[in-house]
Structure 1
Amino acid sequence: MAQSMSMGMRNTARVALVSLVMIGAGVLVTGCQSDPDIDITKLGLATDPPEQLYKQGLANMKAGNLAEASRKFDSIDRQNPFSEWGRKALVMSTFTKYRLGQYDEAVTTGNRYMKQYPRSDDSAYVQYLIGLSYSKQIADVTQDQRAASRTIDAMSVVVKDYPKSEYVEDAQAKIRFARDQLAGKEMQIGRYYLERKEYLAAISRFRVVVERYGNTNQVEEALARLVEAYYAMGVTEEAQTAAAVLGHNYPDSQWYADSFKLLKGGGLEPRENSGSWISRAGAKLLGT
């Protein structure tokens, strides 16, 4: 009898537990059905087919609602990865993020596209967007220039891997601008040292400009500053060589006129020493 009572109690407990679970589920379902304020679209869940979401994204772009367009494209990417619609959505997601000024996000999305579809019809465009996103983040030469270096890296891929694309010309222009920025940063630091009469430190910066960034708009001043620094140190042969290289490559430059005047004041004139590193670097200037 005791055993029968025990089994009966266990059956009753089981029935009660099942009832509680069913009641709880019923409350949850009833609550969802009766609550008119729940909107799953506000939870970031887009449930339309990818083709329809893509069209909605394009419509939002046309209306100027880039943020909503970006959300539509991101929904396609999340729900349909590695599909053709997912691929197209990644392109548009990169573009809308770039246009929204979300440059880091655009780079992340673009890089993911390039890893998955490096040889697709849109890969040149996406790589170009990556470069543009870096380019937009280039700061004044008084600040960090990592974005300039990354612009050069990204745009060099456009030029090298997609030489026939329509983006090459602008990619090259962005590379030139970024190189000018990097050279400008070196000049800024070099002038800082020069003003404090730390001539060796200054020369090392100006040398980087002449040897590495010879085709930028900073090289004339760099050569003139080398004249100034070497002359101040009493290393007149290098000062004369820097002035000679400057005059050979930029005879009408005001920087050359100033350097010539400085040497003349000390009874010197520009004269090139072919064994100098400046002479070797100068031979490459007009060809860069």
Structure 2
Amino acid sequence: MSKFLYVIIAIATLASCSEYQKALKSEDVKVKYELAERLYNEKKFKKSSRLFEQIVPKYRGKPQGERVTFLYARTLFEIEQYIVSGYQFERFVRSYPKSDSIQVASFYEAKSYYMQSPRFSIDQRDTYTAINKLQGFINNYPESEYLDNANEMVDELTTKIEKKAYEIAKQYNTISDYKAAIKATENFLSDYPGTEFREDAMYLKLDAMYNLAIRSFETLMEERFNEAASAYKSLMKFYPESKYKEEADKIMASITEELAKFTK
């Protein structure tokens, strides 16, 4: 029985492949369309996409063009061709502004850009584009069923950009460019006041200020140690139980000791 079923499945598979190959080579647009939609419903998106790709130009300007264009964009998204799917959804939105599928298309256009966002250590131009696309969707469709998903994606991408900026400041501190580290953390805290890396950045600023002060000419030390002391007080004000408290307290003890030398 199992061998018999295997043979039946093999025959069906071969027939399916044969039908698909014939449709690819066929000049009959209707044959391509019907098989493309059937394959789409069966979630065979790669094959469906190839057929839709062939017929999209043929249906442009025709009543079926709206559906064909939308389904083609969806197949591209499903096979992770996000650059092309973003373009196709964007084209759909421009071409069919009154479509019943406009909201869904707008969401998947934005999500296509979201899927292109790289890891935080790489240039984040695509991430900024994705945020703009998602924010546009949120503004245009505040009652959408996709609203929560869109907001979650914006939060994730924003955190990625914040992490990138924080890591740049951290890198300056690592290579002992303390002035650049201080400036970078100040800019970071100004640009992202609600960031989840705020505590980390405030401690980083304290550490950079202390290291700059202790390596300064004597004429600059007192002023810079006082600035570092202010950074410590700010950290403790906002985060009295900071995860950096032990390290920060040691830095402050050293600052106090150094400042005492200027009062003698």
TM-score (normalised: structure 1): 0.69
Bigger-Rg structure (1/2): 1
2:15 counterpart residue number: none
Deviation at 1:259, TM superposition (A): 2.9
SS at match of 2:64: helix
In 1, Cα distance between the equivalents of 2:240 and 2:69? Answer: 52
- For the 8 Å contact 2:49–2:76, the answer to whether it is kept is yes
Deviation at 1:186, TM superposition (A): 1.4
RMSD: 2.6
Deviation at 1:42, TM superposition (A): 3.5
Deviation at 1:112, TM superposition (A): 0.9
Deviation at 1:237, TM superposition (A): 4.5
Amino acid at match of 1:255: Y
1:80 aligns with 2:59: yes
Equivalent position to 1:159, from 123, 138, 151: 138
Distance 1:254 1:80, change over 3 A: same
Q: Gaps (5+ residues) in structure 2?
A: 1-20, 214-223, 258-264
Equivalent position to 1:189, from 168, 177, 182: 168
2:41 counterpart residue number: 62
2:24 counterpart residue number: 42
TM-score (normalised: structure 2): 0.75
- For the 8 Å contact 1:76–1:85, the answer to whether it is kept is no
Equivalent position to 2:244, from 255, 270, 273: 255
Equivalent position to 1:126, from 77, 99, 105: 105
Equivalent position to 2:255, from 242, 258, 266: 266
Deviation at 1:144, TM superposition (A): 1.9
1:217 counterpart residue number: 196
Q: Gaps (5+ residues) in structure 1?
A: 1-38, 269-288
In 1, Cα distance between the equivalents of 2:63 and 2:187? Answer: 47
Equivalent position to 2:181, from 198, 202, 205: 202
In 2, Cα distance between the equivalents of 1:44 and 1:243? Answer: 74
2:124 counterpart residue number: 145
SS at match of 2:256: coil
In 2, Cα distance between the equivalents of 1:259 and 1:120? Answer: 59
Higher mean C-alpha displacement, 95-104 vs 135-144: 135-144
Q: What number of residue pairs does the alignment pair up?
A: 227
Amino acid at match of 1:253: S
Deviation at 1:45, TM superposition (A): 4.7
Deviation at 1:94, TM superposition (A): 1.7
Deviation at 1:180, TM superposition (A): 1.1
1:226 aligns with 2:208: no
In 2, Cα distance between the equivalents of 1:203 and 1:247? Answer: 18
- For the 8 Å contact 1:243–1:259, the answer to whether it is kept is yes
Q: 1:109-164 CA deviation, whole Å, 9 max, x = no partner? A: 01111222345332222222122222222222222222221221111111111111
Deviation at 1:96, TM superposition (A): 1.3
In 1, Cα distance between the equivalents of 2:196 and 2:64? Answer: 45
Q: 1:11-69 CA deviation, whole Å, 9 max, x = no partner? A: xxxxxxxxxxxxxxxxxxxxxxxxxxxx87435855217xx82x533321232310122
Amino acid at match of 2:254: G
1:7 counterpart residue number: none
Amino acid at match of 1:167: Y
Amino acid at match of 1:172: N
In 1, Cα distance between the equivalents of 2:192 and 2:39? Answer: 44
Deviation at 1:105, TM superposition (A): 0.5
Equivalent position to 2:96, from 117, 120, 137: 117
- For the 8 Å contact 1:158–1:167, the answer to whether it is kept is no
Give aligned-pair identity as a percent: 21
- For the 8 Å contact 1:103–1:134, the answer to whether it is kept is yes
